[in-house]
Amino acid sequence: MTRRFVVSGTDTNVGKTVFAAGLAGSLRGHYWKPIQSGFAPEGDKETVMRLSGLPADHILPERYRLMAPLSPHRSAELDGIVIQPSTLVVPDTPGALVIEGAGGLMVPITREFLQIDLYRTWDLPVIIVARTMLGTINHTLLSIAALRMQEIPIHGVAFVGEDNSDNIRTIGEMGEVRVLGRLPHLPQLNAHTLRDAFTTHFREEDFR
């Protein structure tokens, strides 16, 4: 079966784009961010292109590319664009596909439709990207609970940040969820260092 994952963060700037780049590169797959809000100095697609080591044709174009770095519903309103959720259809790609959401689960895509509503229609396994710092237990367990209420499959939790073994253990045990690994902060972030860190801290078999 083709491996397809949705990557969602517990918070803004949690590190899900870097994780998505590492995962897509590790799988030699394709990357797609359906909605991009704000792209200064670069959008997430450009970041993944720079960090994943994937060829350009493995980085798929966004369906909506919005100017302001805001929630998609508001950014689209400012651009005079109406987002139609029905147009956000998962592309058919050869090999693996990593889909990065816009922010967290409850981010509004329109004023009537949340990101989690989109994930429910896709019915793909979600990887939650979480911080390791204070506050992560609450944010991550809430995300796990929200996905389970909607009966959306959870593939696991990937952490980004400095080692905090008790937070990671607590989330794994209390959330009854697989801990996929932890990506440390990299003083020099580029395709080479990200590939090495992903290989060191994650297991490819966990994404089969």
Active site residues: 33
Q: Which of 116, 99, 104 is nearest to 150 (CA)?
A: 116
Q: What is the pLDDT of residues 29-50, one digit of tens each?
A: 999 999 999 987 899 999 999 9
Name, in order, each residue with C-beta under 8 angstroms of 148's C-beta and a sequence gap of 6 or more: 154
Q: Give DSSP secondary structure letters for 50-77.
A: HHH---GGGBPPPSEEESSSS-HHHHHH
Angle formed at CA 207 by CA 96 and CA 35, multiple of 5 degrees: 50
- Half-sphere exposure (Cβ direction) of 8: Cα atoms closer than 13 Å: 28
Rg (alpha carbons) of the chain, rounded to whole number = 16
Which residue's entry shows tokens 């073994």?
165
pTM, entire model: 0.96
Q: What is the pLDDT of residues 162-207, one digit of tens each?
A: 999 999 999 999 999 999 999 999 999 999 999 999 999 999 999 9
What is the band of 1 on the pLDDT scale with cuts at 50, 70, 90? low
Domains contained in the chain, CATH given: 4-207 (3.40.50.300)
Q: How many CB atoms lie within 10 A of CB 102?
A: 25
